[in-house]
Amino acid sequence: MTHTIEIVDHDPGWAEAFAAISGAVAAALGPLALRIEHVGSTSVPGLGAKPIVDLDVVIESPALLPPVVEALAALGYSHKGDLGIAGREAFGREDDTVPRDGSGRAWPAHHLYVCARESRELHRHVRFRDYLRSHPDSAASYEALKRALAQRHPHDIESYIEGKSEFVEGILAVDGGGARS
Residues ≥6 apart with Cβ < 8 Å to 90? 79, 80, 81, 82, 83, 111, 112, 113
pLDDT of residue 179: 39
Per residue in 124-139, pLDDT tens?
Answer: 999 999 999 999 999 9
> Is residue 56 within 8 Å of 122, Cβ to Cβ?
yes
pLDDT of residue 181: 35
CA 45 to each of CA 87, 139, 141, 159: distance values in angstroms, whole numbers, following the listed order = 26, 9, 14, 25
pLDDT of residue 17: 97
Per residue in 89-125, pLDDT tens?
Answer: 999 999 999 999 999 999 999 999 999 999 999 999 9
Which pLDDT band holds residue 3 (cuts at 50, 70, 90)? confident
pLDDT of residue 174: 85
- Which ranges of the chain does DSSP label H, i.e. alpha helix? 13-29, 65-74, 120-134, 136-152, 157-174
pLDDT of residue 147: 98
Per residue in 49-79, pLDDT tens?
Answer: 999 999 999 999 999 999 999 999 999 999 9
Question: Does the model's pTM come out above 0.75?
Answer: yes
**Burial class of residue 167 (count of CB atoms within 10 Å of its CB; 0-12, 13-18, 19+):** middle
**Backbone torsion region of residue 158, taken as left when φ is above 0, otherwise alpha when ψ lies between -120 and 50, otherwise beta:** alpha
pLDDT, mean over the chain? 94
d(CA 105, CA 99): 9
pLDDT of residue 163: 97
Neighbouring-strand partners of residue 170: none
Answer whether residue 31 shows pLDDT above 90.
Answer: yes
Which pLDDT band holds residue 42 (cuts at 50, 70, 90)? very high
pLDDT of residue 175: 65
d(CA 72, CA 79): 8
